[in-house]
Chains A and B, each alone.
Chain A
């Protein structure tokens, strides 16, 4: 069926072109002058090579359709043979490569020519370019074995070229197209499959570093394509590690890593001794050594790769953090070791004396190994590196290794804590995040906690919040630790009151994770006295709330704790349980009435029934297609109501429910619009009645945009349905306009536009068309040839009948779907004091918002400011203003500049967040447009916006300037 459909589509497509010539009276939508002819004329006109080059450059700016590629290629080849100037030939060769990438064009016809011209070419640059073209052709025809072999053969022939550029390209070609099968078998055409690996391996010792790099890269490419590299490469690669050129070393490090992942358990001998070790350990040692390479590019590369070597034995792993210290040939302990000892000896925080770090025992001079000691101290070096790129890479690697080994996590803790003090904020932030990720594996010692908490005073909000997140999931060992953390957090709160929410949340988790440690602290924290009643603390004090949050959360799993509360504490509990229910859990207070009986812990939400309900109600709707209109409408209305309620009750199903409800609403609107009795009335009478239908069309459009862009996790099959719905809405719009307007010209334009939309739809979703049987679009495409030739009035008539006949499409539910939402935390919109500023100047307003489930917020989320005079202003936040604290969550912290002319009274402006969308971004891009300035513009353009946050009102007052 699919094949049949496709064929039909193509037939119609060609018909379109033919009919252009027949009917000249009609304005044609596709008028394509022959590309190849124009190019041919241009090139013939060119008098000098420079001219010809200009023409070619101009030509390259415009895209070429798949059907005219072949002609263009012929013209280009013809000129190639005639051309004497190498630069023009070079351009032609590059154009050939680009053209052969065009979708829908099969480049096998130009391959012979390309190989032919390759053989006669003298210029090295052109040769290299031609090989590049062949590479493009080869990748396009990757299924054809014979062609691949031929190309590989060509590449092998040119490997002996004197120019590095040509050798580079040959190696690239081999890497991309070289056969993956074992050598030795003969092909039908008599070409032996070459052992690509060996050929490439020979060029590891080429005299030109660029060629060496290309050879390693080609080898890596082979690996990526699924060829298993030989273990013998390992030794070759090891030699390349001491190459003079950094690109070679950098690529070699990668290669070694690849081999170590392929043969981790092989045994390799250690040179100059009889011992043998596992290959992965050996490779690990070698890569560790590269962490102190001279070039920072190599260092970054090495540090990054270390993180993914998980099979390394723990012995080697732990060496990376070990740097044998010595002073004056005597063994010395590191500050970390001393701190640990100090702590374990029970003596905490002693003033250190000079000579405290005095070296202890003598070191045997023979045993000290200053270099080449494998993994020794690699991370110590990496974390101390000059370039922050290396440090970040090292921290990341540390994180990955620590996640897979808990003993390593324990060891690397001290180093991570040290990184909290780095001079670059990014590194500090990264190490805090890392620490959070591994915190399941570790328990913080008191002295470590002390250092960590020191960072709470950092002036950077990101750092503080990252640290709060870290404390949320940290394990603390002692009650003093908890106390220390609380004290420091309260200090933080007084210094930066804006951190309130974050700190409360942090204390919530801290409390619930360590109930037994909090218990002995309760009397002190609540300052209760065994005999005397103490003063009741201020309920509005954020610090007091913070303490209560900690205690209540601990009390949840510690039933003995409420006995220690005083009366007012219970009152405060009731209050907080209501006002801050997300922070304060429900407690079972013995002897007292359950303050919140609504939520009882026994009732756990049952997911299945509600999900089932959702499915059932949707199925009900889909199955009842041919019900009488009235019944359908009612059913739809009920179902929409049900779904909405379900979404409110079940937060995990909210996305699906809302999404389906929106779709049903669209359908309902469409049905309603079509059920209008007045459709049959003559056009002039209809005029005033059209409101409902056109409003419905407009609303459907809006809903479909929301469905497409406001939900994350929408897959292609849903997008098709959504677009289909939109197409119907557009058809409806067209019909309504046709009925209400008189002018033919306007209608003519609309008709044409609609047909273009249909065409666009067809092109975008050609693969999904088979799923849309009997739908509106299916029928529409059947009638396409007729529509194009008929008059607008007729088109409208056809559309109308088709709309009525079209069936209701089943919307498949996506796996994971979430509705995008945003909450503006700041400005809170409560202030009565207007923000005063001089008119004509600007005032900066801090905006802080959390975004949930927004894809690519950097380009889509905008801030809108609506002034009382109706003037609206859209602000594009900088990409750096977005932070990503967790999966699916984003945080926007930005400044919005407001300005206006003078007002007499303070007034409120509205601030809200918009989601910008552009449905054209789905058009597949042609290779021509890559990197072009036109496309960059097209991508940033905004088709429309959807408001997705509650507006916040800000009181402002621009004052007139004083003179």
Chain B
């Protein structure tokens, strides 16, 4: 029985460290290769020894697919390919291929330079790893080998994020990675055609949330920034370098443009500048507005947003500053925060979630006095705002995608177990498909019944079609032919051709049958009587009386002979080929019933 097996090495009932193994049609594919943000020990990377204890990974995996550049989806890639050892192809989209090494390098720097970890992958390893990458385009069908093919769909979420369809023969799996079903200021919404995969592996971060319209949040955000700037205050927006930061930049940039505002907007330099460059390049991956207007002006070539310099923080007058990192726990954003916190005209907007213990979390929970290092107490007079901009599909979005793809079954990953439970129940109830949510290391096995395509020669098809009415999609049709299985493909051909191809001689199979008739007349007369009898019965068949005294019905031969012992009995010899079995047996049964009495006075 063919089957699809799925084993999450990471992201099973968990967020982070996405890594899912899929076996389909004898092929093994690894989906994503991420790290976990919560751990600093071995647990941060997936346990690749699950795949093989001592063999080379390359022999066990046909390919690796990376959905997007977030570290929880690609963070373990250099470790996996260079340190554990994998030489097969790694597939990702072009933007992911461009941005991924920047993030990996940043991650490496923090781990090695700041935390002083040993036994971590090196810059060279990142480069080597990226050499194994094969870039794919949207909707491009890539043949990994003769049987395995993959295809990328747009997923929204971040620049270059993609959903992948993995297909072997007629069996297929769709893996969504992270995706977003509502468009935002710089990216469009995820889309997939009705590909009807056997299995849909979807993320479920917001399995139990239905979100409000984005517009209110955007409007609130803009209004707050605008008011503060008009008052002459300064706005600090702590962000992570990639993803949301670009969305907020576009939002502010267009607003500034629309409202003719003059206050400067700054973006703290570093990593972001490089990334912005790629955003400028990959216009086709952005949303409708940016794609349509980039001929006049590329939206990512910011007019109002300039690079930030440390000295600008003390400048008088209003300004808006985007600074990293996003949780105000260190670095530039914290420095600026300290400078500005004392003035009630200023404002800090937290655009995302903050981990407990960070400054961001403290101020969000309403603390107005902060103890900084060196026993300093920082009094916060500036306004603190929280705005959540998240780019995952909510429960409705997930359901929408399931509805669009129409899978046979669904598998949930990348979410909390409790929330998945709810969504699982909903999916089973509303789509009536089976739904799975395996934990890490747990294997789901899905029996499939793949359809086997059989080729048919046009001549045969036309011949068989000519015999009946038009083919009706709802009714099966009977068709005579020979099935040839050769070199693992199947063909249906006419029997003559099959014989010719296989070099076999044709054998004829004939049935003969004797029927005894009580008839005292001569053979010829009996034959004539049989002829007239059959002629009257079988109106739509060709009945002939041959000169040698035999009667043929189509290709069936009937001969009358005198019985050697009993002259009052005639023996009818009926002979037919295998192909005419139906008609032949019908004829014999007819003849066995006897002939109708001869017309009186006929002779």
* Cα A682 to Cα B594 with chains together (Å): 122
CB proximity of A319 to chain B, nearest CB, Å: 14
Q: Which residues of A contact B404 (CB under 8 A)?
A: 294
A711 at the interface (CB under 8 A from B): no
Contact across chains for B422 and A459 when beta carbons are under 8 A apart = no
Residues from chain A with a CB closer than 8 A to the CB of B430 are: 369-372
Tell me how many residues of B have a C-beta within 8 Å of chain A. 54
Asked if A109 is at the interface of the complex by the 8 Å CB criterion, the answer is no
* B482 CB within 8 Å of chain A: no
A386 touches B183 (CB 8 A): yes
Q: Which residue of B lies closest to A450 (CB)?
A: B223
Would you call B464 an interface residue if the criterion is a C-beta within 8 Å of the partner chain's C-beta atoms?
no
CB distance from B327 to the nearest CB of A (A): 13
Contacts A329-B208, A423-B254 given; indicate if A388 touches B385 (C-beta within 8 A). no
Q: Is the CB of B210 within 8 A of A325?
A: yes
**0 or 1 for each of B391-412: is its CB under 8 Å from A? (1 = yes):** 0000110011001100000000
Task: List A contacts of B222 (CB < 8 A).
Answer: 421
Which residues of chain A come closer than 8 Å to B47, judged between CB atoms? Answer: none
| A617–B258 alpha-carbon span in the complex (Å) | 57
**In the complex, A457 has a CB within 8 A of chain B:** yes
Question: Which residues of chain B come closer than 8 Å to A355, judged between CB atoms?
Answer: 364-365, 386
Q: Are A334 and B426 neighbours in the complex by a CB distance under 8 Å? A: no
Q: Contact: B288 with A294, CB < 8 Å? A: no
Residues on A with C-beta less than 8 A from B194 are: 244, 294
Q: Considering the complex, which residues of chain A in the window 357-375 have a beta carbon less than 8 Å from any beta carbon of chain B?
A: 365, 368-372
B425 part of interface (Cβ distance < 8 Å): yes
Q: A160 vs B210: C-alpha distance in the bound complex, in angstroms?
A: 50
**Interfacial chain A residues near B259, Cβ < 8 Å:** 457-459
Across the interface, do A388 and B288 meet the contact criterion of CB distance under 8 Å?
A: yes
Q: Known: A326-B208, A353-B366, A385-B183. Contact between A495 and B399, CB under 8 A?
A: no
When chains A and B are docked, how far (Å) is the Cα of A153 from the Cα of B217? Answer: 62
Contact with B258, one of A332, A335, A458 (Cβ below 8 angstroms):
A458
Q: What is the CA–CA distance of A383 and B254 in the complex, to the nearest angstrom? A: 19
Interface residues in A304-346 by Cβ distance below 8 A to B read 323-329, 332, 334-336
Known pairs A352-B385, A386-B188; A451 contacts B212 (CB<8 A): no
Interface contact B209-A327, CB-CB below 8 Å? yes
Cβ of A492 to closest chain B Cβ, rounded Å: 11
Pair B215/A384 contact, Cβ less than 8 Å: yes
Q: How far is the CB of A795 from chain B (nearest CB, A)?
A: 62
A553 CA to B191 CA in the complex, in Å? Answer: 55
Query: Within 8 Å CB of B211, what residues of A?
Result: 325
Question: Which chain B residues lie closer than 8 Å to A454 at the CB level?
Answer: 223, 226
The reply to whether B422 and A329 form a contact with Cβ atoms under 8 Å apart is yes
Q: Which residues from A are CB-within-8-Å of B193?
A: 294
User: A residues within 8 A CB of B288?
Assistant: 386-388
Q: CA separation between A917 and B130, bound complex, in Å?
A: 67
User: What residues of chain B lie closer than 8 Å to A422, measured between beta carbons?
Assistant: 215
User: Are A354 and B386 in contact (CB-based, < 8 A)?
Assistant: yes
Residues of B within 8 A of A354 (CB): 350, 364-366, 384, 386
Chain A residue at smallest Cβ distance from B192: A294
Within 806-852 of A, Cβ neighbours of B (below 8 Å) are at none
Contact between B219 and A421 (Cβ–Cβ < 8 Å)? yes
Known interface pairs A324-B210, A421-B218, A458-B259; A294-B191 also in contact (CB < 8 Å)? yes
Complex Cα distance A292/B402, Å? 12
B425 contacts which chain A residues (CB < 8 A)? Answer: 365
**A657 → chain B, closest Cβ, in Å?**
47
* Contact among A353, A368, A384, A418 with B182 in the assembled complex (CB-CB below 8 Å): A384
In the complex, how many residues of chain A place their beta carbon closer than 8 angstroms to a beta carbon of chain B?
Answer: 51
A820–B175 alpha-carbon span in the complex (Å): 63
Query: CA–CA, A351 to B185, complex, Å?
Result: 25
Q: Does A258 contact B (CB under 8 A)?
A: no
User: Could you say which of B209, B366, B425 has the most chain A C-beta atoms within 10 Å of its C-beta?
Assistant: B209
B258 A460 Cβ-Cβ under 8 A: yes
CA distance in complex: A736, B601 (Å): 115
Given contacts A326-B209, A388-B288, contact A459 B257 (CB under 8 A): yes
Interface code B252-265, partner A: CB below 8 Å = 1, 0 otherwise? 00100111100000
Is B419 an interface residue when CB atoms closer than 8 A count as contact?
A: yes
Q: Contact mask B184-218 → A, CB, 8 Å, 1/0?
A: 01001101111000000000000011111111111
Q: Provide the residues of chain B in CB contact with A385, threshold 8 Å.
A: 183, 189
Complex Cα spacing A93 to B210, Å: 59
CA distance A423 to B251 in the complex (A): 9
- B338 at the A/B interface (Cβ < 8 Å)? no
B213→A418 contact, CB < 8 A: yes
B470 contacts which of A162, A387, A419 (Cβ < 8 Å)?
A162
User: In the complex, what's the smallest C-beta–C-beta distance from A451 to chain B, in angstroms?
Assistant: 7
Residue A695 at the chain B interface, CB threshold 8 Å: no
Q: With a 10 A CB-CB cut-off, give which of B350, B365, B396, B399 has the most chain A CB atoms.
A: B396
Tell whether A418 pairs with B422 under 8 Å between CB atoms, given A328-B209, A386-B288, A458-B258. Answer: no
In the complex, the answer to whether A383 meets B396 with C-beta atoms within 8 Å is: no
* A388–B385 alpha-carbon span in the complex (Å): 30
Contact assessment for B188 and A383 in the assembled complex, using a CB-CB cutoff below 8 Å: no
Q: Does A424 contact B (CB under 8 A)?
A: yes
CB distance A207 to B366 under 8 Å?
Answer: no
Given the complex of chains A and B, what is the CA–CA distance between A418 and B214 in angstroms? 9
Asked if A473 is at the interface (CB within 8 A of a chain B CB), the reply is no
Q: Is A64 an interface residue (CB 8 A)?
A: no
A336 near B260 (CB under 8 angstroms)? no
Return the CB mask of B214-250 against A: 1 if under 8 Å, else 0: 1111111011001000000000000000000000000
User: At the interface, yes or no: B122 with Cβ under 8 Å from chain A?
Assistant: no
User: A424 and B182 in contact (CB under 8 A), knowing A244-B194, A370-B399, A460-B258?
Assistant: no
Within residues 379 to 427 of chain A, which ones have a CB less than 8 A from any CB in chain B?
380, 383-388, 415, 418-419, 421-424
**When the two chains form their complex, are residues B217 and A335 in contact, meaning their CB atoms are under 8 A apart?**
yes
Query: Are A370 and B217 in contact (CB-based, < 8 A)?
Result: no
**Cβ of B473 < 8 Å from any Cβ of A?**
yes
Please tell me if the beta carbons of B208 and A328 are within 8 angstroms of each other in the complex.
Answer: yes
> Does residue B149 face the partner (Cβ distance < 8 Å to A)?
no
Contact of A323 among B189, B210, B257 (CB under 8 A): B210
Q: Give 1 or 0 for each of A234-251: 1 = CB within 8 Å of chain B CB.
A: 000000000010000000
Contact of B215 among A351, A353, A419, A458 (CB under 8 A): A419
CB distance from B302 to the nearest CB of A (A): 15
Interchain nearest-CB distance for A414 vs B (Å): 8
Instruction: Report the separation of the CA atoms of residues A189 and B214 in the bound assembly, to the nearest whole angstrom.
Output: 67
Residue from the list B189, B215, B260, B287 in contact with A383, Cβ < 8 A: B215
Q: Which of B215, B288, B419, B470 has the most CB of A within 10 A?
A: B215
Q: Is the CB of A421 within 8 A of B215?
A: yes
Residues of B within 8 A of A380 (CB): 213
A326 to B207, CA, bound (A): 10
In the complex, what residues of B have CB within 8 A of residue A388's CB? Answer: 288-289
Query: Separation in Å of the A286 CB from the closest CB of chain B?
Result: 14
**Chain A residues within an 8 Å CB radius of B395:** 326, 370
Chain B residue contacts of A324, Cβ below 8 A: 210
Residues in B neighbouring A328, C-beta threshold 8 A: 208-209, 419
Q: Given the complex of chains A and B, what is the CA–CA distance between A423 and B364 in angstroms? A: 30
* Chain B CB within 10 A, most for which of A205, A370, A418, A457: A370
A325-B212, A352-B386 known; 5 other A-B pairs, CB under 8 Å? Answer: A329-B422, A352-B385, A368-B426, A415-B213, A421-B222
Please name 20 pairs of A and B residues whose Cβ atoms are closer than 8 Å in the assembled complex, sorted by A. Answer: A160-B470, A162-B470, A294-B191, A294-B192, A325-B211, A326-B208, A332-B212, A334-B213, A334-B216, A353-B366, A354-B364, A371-B399, A386-B189, A386-B288, A415-B213, A421-B219, A424-B289, A457-B259, A457-B260, A459-B258
Closest CB pairs A-B (n = 4): A335-B216, A418-B215, A386-B183, A354-B386
Which A residues are closer than 8 A to B by beta carbons?
A: 160, 162, 205, 207, 244, 292, 294, 323-329, 332, 334-336, 351-355, 365, 368-372, 377, 380, 383-388, 415, 418-419, 421-424, 451, 454, 457-460, 495
Chain B residues in the interface with A (C-beta under 8 A): 182-183, 185, 188-189, 191-194, 208-220, 222-223, 226, 254, 257-260, 287-289, 350, 364-366, 383-386, 395-396, 399-400, 403-404, 419, 422, 425-426, 430, 470, 473
